Structure 1
Amino acid sequence: MNPLLDNIAWNTLSGPHAGFATGTDRARRYAPGFSPIVGFANAGHPDLDDLIPFCAPGDHFYCMDWSGSAPAGWRIDLDSTMFRMVWQGAMPDDDPALDATPLRPEHAAQAVELAALTRPGPFGPRTPELGDYFGCFEGDRLIAMAGERMCAGTLREISGICTHPDYQGRGLARRLAAKLIRRQLQRGETPFLHVMRDNEGAHGLYQRMGFKDHREVVVRVISPC
């Protein structure tokens, strides 16, 4: 398995997404407006104090692969685990019947609203700038979306997979994710994603689609205090 995957946040923020990030040579975060994710050169012993100059009041960050105690000046607001999953399935079929619209800056408010309602993971108004994002619309209303977030080497994350509760059961988000997976495989990339441990429905769906568990990892929401 690609070793970049085991510290994917850092390898993304210090590599392909360095232009979307800020920080030091030991700790980096996505810039405000993007997903509130942080990464550390040493994920098991993060240099949290290095982030202080790049924090604002009220900031909360998602931190992966670290299970130690919070140092002075920081608190752990949420402590859980998630599965990091890697695609091992076949090439998804083309889906010409799917009416998928590329999301643009003018869709940002609707995308943030849908993410706040469905909670697919950390999301900001500029998150769709991190990769390809597609949505399904009912009239002018965004009802489902999926896109790309972290990346390093040939690894490319599928993220933001969600459907408005009023439109669930149609397979819209799954079909959007399959569209992204197909595009990534055609580019020679390896799709991966994250799913919370207690989200058994989504975990099972991703397994049926062709993702396999790479490993279970710690995920925390942390904030300076």
Structure 2
Amino acid sequence: MERKPQLDHIFWHALNGAHRRYSDGTDQARRYTQGFSPIIAFADPARPDFGALAPWVTPGEHFYCENWTGAAPPGWRIDAETTMYRMLWDGVAPAADPAPDALPLQAHHAAAALELATLCKPGPFGIRTIELGDYFGYFDGERLMAMAGERLRAPGLCEISGVCTHPDYQGRGLAKRLIAKLLHRHQQRGDRSFLHVMRSNPAHQLYLNMGFKDYLETTVRVVVAE
């Protein structure tokens, strides 16, 4: 598969590019502002400048960090480590919106989105994460059954993220329809879709079946500021 330099280092390119206004840090290290997804990234993952983050980090905060395998520096500890796949869309997007009945998530849906993400654990998620892109969901009354939306961005690239379905509503294909809706929207505006999935997540096979291909496998850690 053709290499895309910005996709190779997408967390940094998003934090220091399209999402810079939602982040804090320096030209060497950045984090999403508190309330957004707890993610940090470095200009040079081989030499991560954790010290540069000190003014913007509170002791006890947990962050996701990818593509870094060194020892934890003083003042930090590694809480968890695994690998994840970065998958790039390589299929044919729907010719029409397959989920016209899905509702756009607005600011007043933020608590419901966070509650669903806390239950389903689709990845790092905060009360303001739905501000990072377009999010859509299906509701049963006031209850959010399923959602999916957009997070990381770079020119010509947009991530599908926050994909989850409440256990009480699984098996209805809701998340798959929401993903297809986003694929259609991305195609319409000329973006290439991609997503992340942990190596142990059985959804990896679902995404392969849908038309995503493994672009790379990278280390991901949860680190804690002490």
Is 1:161 aligned with 2:176? Answer: no
Alignment coverage as a number of residue pairs: 224
1:118 maps to amino acid: C
Once residues 15 and 5 of structure 2 are traced to their aligned partners in structure 1, the CA distance between those partners, rounded to angstroms, is: 16
Residue in 1 that maps onto 2:213: 212
Partner-residue secondary structure (3-state), 1:106: helix
Residue in 2 that maps onto 1:80: 82
Which runs of 5 or more structure 1 residues have no equivalent in the other structure?
A: none
CA deviation string 1:180-213 (max 9, x = no partner): 01100111101000000001x2000000111000
Once residues 2 and 89 of structure 1 are traced to their aligned partners in structure 2, the CA distance between those partners, rounded to angstroms, is: 17
Are the counterparts in 2 of residues 98 and 175 from structure 1 also a CA contact under 8 Å? no
Q: 1:55 to 1:182 in 2, by over 3 A?
A: same
Is 1:192 aligned with 2:194? Answer: yes
Q: 1:116 to 1:27 in 2, by over 3 A?
A: same
Partner-residue secondary structure (3-state), 2:183: helix
Residue in 2 that maps onto 1:109: 111
Residue in 2 that maps onto 1:55: 57
Which runs of 5 or more structure 2 residues have no equivalent in the other structure?
A: none
Partner-residue secondary structure (3-state), 2:9: helix
Are the counterparts in 1 of residues 85 and 199 from structure 2 also a CA contact under 8 Å? yes
Identity, % of aligned pairs? 60
Is 1:26 aligned with 2:28? Answer: yes
Once residues 46 and 151 of structure 2 are traced to their aligned partners in structure 1, the CA distance between those partners, rounded to angstroms, is: 22
Deviation, 1:91, is 1.5
CA deviation string 1:137-188 (max 9, x = no partner): 0111111000000011111000000000000000101110110011001111
Deviation, 1:96, is 5.0
1:223 maps to amino acid: V
Please give the TM-score of this superposition, normalised by the length of structure 2: 0.96
Is 1:223 aligned with 2:221? Answer: no
Residue in 1 that maps onto 2:183: 181
Residue in 2 that maps onto 1:139: 141
Once residues 159 and 140 of structure 1 are traced to their aligned partners in structure 2, the CA distance between those partners, rounded to angstroms, is: 22
1:34 maps to amino acid: F
Please give the TM-score of this superposition, normalised by the length of structure 1: 0.97
Once residues 199 and 115 of structure 2 are traced to their aligned partners in structure 1, the CA distance between those partners, rounded to angstroms, is: 24
1:172 corresponds, among 167, 171, 174, to 174
Deviation, 1:224, is 1.4
CA deviation string 1:53-98 (max 9, x = no partner): 1101321110011111111111000111000000000022434565
Are the counterparts in 1 of residues 97 and 184 from structure 2 also a CA contact under 8 Å? no
Are the counterparts in 1 of residues 98 and 181 from structure 2 also a CA contact under 8 Å? no
Once residues 179 and 23 of structure 1 are traced to their aligned partners in structure 2, the CA distance between those partners, rounded to angstroms, is: 34
CA RMSD of aligned residues (A): 1.0
Once residues 58 and 179 of structure 1 are traced to their aligned partners in structure 2, the CA distance between those partners, rounded to angstroms, is: 37
Are the counterparts in 1 of residues 79 and 221 from structure 2 also a CA contact under 8 Å? yes
Partner-residue secondary structure (3-state), 1:39: strand
Once residues 120 and 174 of structure 2 are traced to their aligned partners in structure 1, the CA distance between those partners, rounded to angstroms, is: 14
